[in-house]
Structure 1
Amino acid sequence: MPRTTALDPLFTAVNTAAFTDRHLANLAAGSLAAVRVPDFLDRQTCVSALAALDRLPTADYDPARVPTPILRFGPALNDYRVQQDGRLDAERYWRDAEAARAAWHRAGMRPDPITVSLARLGSAWGAAVTAATIGGRAVFGGTLREINAGALVHYLAVVPPLVPRPTASSPLPVWTEVKPDLSSECWSNSPTYRWSFP
């Protein structure tokens, strides 16, 4: 069901039963705004993930940066920008990323929703899909957020200088929402444009 924005009638969002290689290519190219896949994760994966949440260490965002209360687990690259020049505070980021990976592993989510998600995206693409890398090191994938009071408008893509623009592939932000009825939705949006489903 393509929908258009008021500002760009050619920039559409799609609801679909599954990702395809065309969806992913169009997202990367910036000719598709967003793709929403209901029931991306099965009920058992959602139950397992929610049961493990109490075993993950969480923290609030710095209220000076994010004024709405949002609980989170795991480091997101944009939270590790050096204010003066926008580069990555690498020492702090990699320390926190390794700690988050260890905590994720100890939480024992089976099946692992990140592994399932990457496998399904890779199946759609026709090749393995992996986390973005910096200097050959995989960034942390699995940041969780509990947003109960809304969030400010923000841009999910990571741009230089944190991650240099790749030449053969484009990073796509992908997130999955587990709903109160234990159904799920997977979303991906173009890294080129800002978009929000109403």
Structure 2
Amino acid sequence: MNRGDTRQYLLLAAAVICIAGLYLAGTASEPSSISLADLDEHEGETVQVAGYVVHVERYSQASGFVLRNGSVSARVFSPDGADVRLADRVRVTGTVQRYEGRLEIMADNVTMLASAGHAVPLPVLAGQYDEFLDTMVTTNGSVEKVTDTAFQLVDGSCSITVRHPEGACNVSAGDRVSVTAAVRYDPGILCFYLSIERDDHHVALRG
């Protein structure tokens, strides 16, 4: 190998090493994607988490919201005032820290994964009915206990009554459906329910 070939080889090797180093540095700096249930194991670290927005608070410049995934929830504080709404599905990148003794995420970035209006899993809805009260939601499940004006919508261990005008819903027990309705509360029986009241409320069969 002559001197020119050696020099080209060394330059190529240096370029490969440089590219590999940049890749590894970028990979190392990328936040870990974790479950909300594991926040306490990552205090002080920058992480990525995803879930549904189940509560929103607005401040002068900032915003705070509660992120829920399954049965686990966590508070997120956004200094930049992330524009999120109830039932949005988002991904949050931020630092896990404690505020007033409780873990929260100080958000650096909030990315929209699905905006409000998409289907909210029934277990998520069931955990925060009061937050969704008097709003319109879409959720999915199986039909049980059908009557002329109501049926039970079931997903796993969660269920809710769907009330509708007589003849408005042609469903049978065992059907998989998507329900778009208003979340209401019946003080007489101390129970939340879904109410089909308007033209944009409906029950659709799912395949």
Same fold by TM (over 0.5)? no
- Compute the TM-score of the two structures, normalised by the length of structure 2: 0.18
Tell which structure's C-alpha radius of gyration is larger.
2
Greater percentage in helix: 1
- Compute the TM-score of the two structures, normalised by the length of structure 1: 0.18
Q: Greater relative contact order (Cα 8 A, min sep 6): structure 1 or 2?
A: 1
